[in-house]
Structure 1
């Protein structure tokens, strides 16, 4: 899809109640770099890649991000949300993050053990190929390799979310995770303000 979701897809995603979401950018700093693509997946609706969003505000994607009725699942949500909040002026609502869940479940691990690549391999035996991670994501037309990469980051993300949620419940950590989720939008505002962690010494 170019520039935004269609109205039909937007309504189908809102009816599904939850969606896996990821973005690709041309840099790491949300106030200087731009969003190239958004990829979304819902088992009831399918997988969609929206291209050509750099320098634009896609109204339906921005509305979906703010829609409290829909759970949006990201991996490393603070990164994605910072870009979208800055570029679109959108207020994220009802967001979950599988990376935060993994950190709460197993604190103190090496950073790579919280990566999506590691978690997908560990839990599902799924090998994510990251070779095209730093290619041109601002292009209107993506290569087949880029498409496969983008799809790979969301296709099983809801499965990971469900699995980690189950483990959080078993360990009595679900409430702590819920509070972290609620703090995400505040964390994004702090990051864009230039003070991501005001609690640090």
Structure 2
């Protein structure tokens, strides 16, 4: 009798974490938007690149940047966003602080992430390599807050909800480290915010 394997969960056979990160980041900043609508717009925006296989293989920062930009533009065409507290309209904007190949330090990355707090209208999409010697993968996630000790994630795939900054390296050349298994890729940090207009 053949052994029946366990069914695979979402995320085990696909590389869609980047699209979920875009969806989750926008929904954190505007909870009234339906996740399904954001996700549909995200995929529609991504497919304009004409490389659908990346849904399986995973996506790089250029594709995530273009997809996020198109998704935001589509949302701005559909809706006017209003901040009740400030009594002003707002738009979504994002920056990629380390897009260029300039020298940067771990502290530079920590300084950028220190400004992240979804309650104040700012989140970060980040990519990291995880390798503790037994498990290894690349992953996009959302950082919703950083308190100087923990990076609090808003993740689509059961990742830790609080990653201690002491467990993270930045742009490390060695792939494996059991004490610091997270390797944040600084060039893959996108800071998304609500900007009053």
What is the TM-score when the length of structure 2 is the normalising length? 0.27
Which structure has more strand as a fraction of its residues? 2
**Higher Cα Rg, which structure:** 2
Which structure has more helix as a fraction of its residues? 1
